[in-house]
Protein backbone atom coordinates (compact mmCIF):
# COMPACT_ATOMS: atom_id res chain seq x y z
CA UNK A 1 0.00 0.00 0.00
CA UNK A 2 1.13 3.51 -0.70
CA UNK A 3 1.99 5.79 2.19
CA UNK A 4 2.80 9.49 2.41
CA UNK A 5 4.83 10.86 5.31
CA UNK A 6 5.21 14.48 6.40
CA UNK A 7 7.60 14.56 9.32
CA UNK A 8 7.27 18.26 10.17
CA UNK A 9 4.01 18.91 12.05
CA UNK A 10 4.73 22.64 12.33
CA UNK A 11 7.08 25.13 10.76
CA UNK A 12 7.51 28.85 10.85
CA UNK A 13 9.22 31.36 8.59
CA UNK A 14 9.65 35.09 8.47
CA UNK A 15 8.00 37.06 5.73
CA UNK A 16 10.11 37.27 2.54
CA UNK A 17 12.25 34.29 3.57
CA UNK A 18 12.32 30.84 2.00
CA UNK A 19 10.99 27.69 3.61
CA UNK A 20 11.02 24.03 2.55
CA UNK A 21 8.39 21.50 3.57
CA UNK A 22 9.34 17.82 3.42
CA UNK A 23 7.39 14.85 2.11
CA UNK A 24 8.40 11.26 1.53
CA UNK A 25 6.30 8.48 0.06
CA UNK A 26 6.43 4.78 -0.47
CA UNK A 27 5.10 3.05 -3.56
CA UNK A 28 5.83 0.23 -5.96
CA UNK A 29 4.03 2.05 -8.77
CA UNK A 30 6.04 3.32 -11.69
CA UNK A 31 3.49 5.84 -12.94
CA UNK A 32 2.11 8.19 -10.31
CA UNK A 33 1.42 11.80 -9.46
CA UNK A 34 2.34 13.89 -6.44
CA UNK A 35 0.57 16.98 -5.20
CA UNK A 36 0.86 19.74 -2.65
CA UNK A 37 -2.41 21.14 -1.32
CA UNK A 38 -2.80 24.27 0.80
CA UNK A 39 -5.53 24.58 3.41
CA UNK A 40 -5.83 28.13 4.83
CA UNK A 41 -7.95 28.89 7.89
CA UNK A 42 -10.98 29.10 5.59
CA UNK A 43 -10.69 25.29 5.32
CA UNK A 44 -10.72 25.35 1.52
CA UNK A 45 -8.39 22.80 -0.13
CA UNK A 46 -6.33 24.51 -2.82
CA UNK A 47 -4.02 22.73 -5.23
CA UNK A 48 -0.62 24.41 -5.12
CA UNK A 49 1.47 22.26 -7.44
CA UNK A 50 1.56 18.83 -9.04
CA UNK A 51 4.33 16.60 -10.36
CA UNK A 52 4.10 13.70 -12.75
CA UNK A 53 6.59 10.98 -11.82
CA UNK A 54 7.66 10.43 -15.42
CA UNK A 55 8.79 14.04 -15.73
CA UNK A 56 12.35 14.67 -14.64
CA UNK A 57 11.95 18.44 -14.50
CA UNK A 58 10.77 19.79 -11.18
CA UNK A 59 7.42 21.58 -11.28
CA UNK A 60 7.25 25.31 -10.56
CA UNK A 61 4.31 27.63 -9.98
CA UNK A 62 5.38 31.21 -9.32
CA UNK A 63 6.91 31.25 -5.79
CA UNK A 64 6.28 27.54 -5.28
CA UNK A 65 8.63 24.86 -6.54
CA UNK A 66 9.28 21.22 -5.76
CA UNK A 67 12.37 19.11 -5.40
CA UNK A 68 11.34 15.72 -6.73
CA UNK A 69 13.84 12.95 -6.01
CA UNK A 70 12.28 9.82 -7.49
CA UNK A 71 14.94 7.37 -6.36
CA UNK A 72 14.79 8.68 -2.81
CA UNK A 73 10.96 8.92 -2.96
CA UNK A 74 11.12 12.47 -1.74
CA UNK A 75 8.92 15.39 -2.79
CA UNK A 76 9.64 18.64 -0.94
CA UNK A 77 7.92 21.99 -1.45
CA UNK A 78 9.91 25.20 -1.47
CA UNK A 79 8.13 28.49 -0.89
CA UNK A 80 10.20 31.51 -1.85
CA UNK A 81 9.56 35.08 -0.71
CA UNK A 82 7.06 33.87 1.89
CA UNK A 83 3.96 35.99 2.37
CA UNK A 84 1.54 36.26 5.26
CA UNK A 85 -1.11 34.69 3.05
CA UNK A 86 0.99 31.52 2.85
CA UNK A 87 0.05 30.76 6.46
CA UNK A 88 -1.86 27.48 6.17
CA UNK A 89 -1.78 23.71 6.52
CA UNK A 90 0.06 22.05 3.66
CA UNK A 91 -0.69 18.50 2.62
CA UNK A 92 1.38 16.29 0.39
CA UNK A 93 -0.68 13.74 -1.59
CA UNK A 94 -0.18 10.78 -3.93
CA UNK A 95 -2.28 9.25 -6.67
CA UNK A 96 -1.83 6.79 -9.49
CA UNK A 97 -3.61 6.06 -12.78
CA UNK A 98 -3.67 2.41 -11.70
CA UNK A 99 -6.40 3.36 -9.22
CA UNK A 100 -8.76 4.08 -12.14
CA UNK A 101 -9.94 7.08 -10.16
CA UNK A 102 -8.21 10.24 -8.98
CA UNK A 103 -8.41 9.26 -5.31
CA UNK A 104 -5.69 10.78 -3.18
CA UNK A 105 -3.56 9.45 -0.35
CA UNK A 106 -2.64 12.30 1.96
CA UNK A 107 0.13 12.90 4.43
CA UNK A 108 -0.67 14.21 7.90
CA UNK A 109 0.11 17.79 7.01
CA UNK A 110 2.51 20.56 8.03
CA UNK A 111 1.20 23.71 9.66
CA UNK A 112 3.13 26.71 8.33
CA UNK A 113 3.10 30.03 10.12
CA UNK A 114 4.52 33.08 8.33
CA UNK A 115 5.58 35.86 10.70
CA UNK A 116 5.87 39.56 9.76
Partner 1 sequence: NAGVTQTPKFQVLKTGQSMTLQCAQDMNHNSMYWYRQDPGMGLRLIYYSASEGTTDKGEVPNGYNVSRLNKREFSLRLESAAPSQTSVYFCASSENVAGDAVTEAFFGQGTRLTVV
104 binding partner 1? (CB under 8 A):
yes
By the 8 A CB rule, do 6 and 109 touch? yes
Strand, coil or helix: 32: coil
Burial degree of 107 (CB within 10 A; 0-12, 13-18, 19+): buried
Q: Could you say which of 44, 60, 69, 113 contacts partner 1 (CB under 8 A)? A: 44
Region for residue 24 given its phi and psi (left: phi exceeds 0; alpha: psi -120 to 50; beta: otherwise): beta
Q: Which one of 1-9, 56-64, 68-76, 79-87 is the stretch in contact with partner 1 (CB under 8 A)?
A: 1-9
11 binding partner 1? (CB under 8 A):
no
| Cα gap 105→24, rounded to integer Å | 12
Q: Which one of 20-28, 56-64, 77-85, 107-115 is the stretch in contact with partner 1 (CB under 8 A)?
A: 107-115
64 binding partner 1? (CB under 8 A):
no
Of residues 15-34, those binding partner 1 (CB under 8 A): 31-33
Contact positions toward partner 1, by CB under 8 A? 4, 6, 9, 31-33, 42-45, 47, 50, 91, 95-97, 100-109
Amino acid sequence: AQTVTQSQPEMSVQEAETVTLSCTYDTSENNYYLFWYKQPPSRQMILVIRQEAYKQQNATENRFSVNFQKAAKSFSLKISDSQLGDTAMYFCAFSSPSYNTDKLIFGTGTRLQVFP
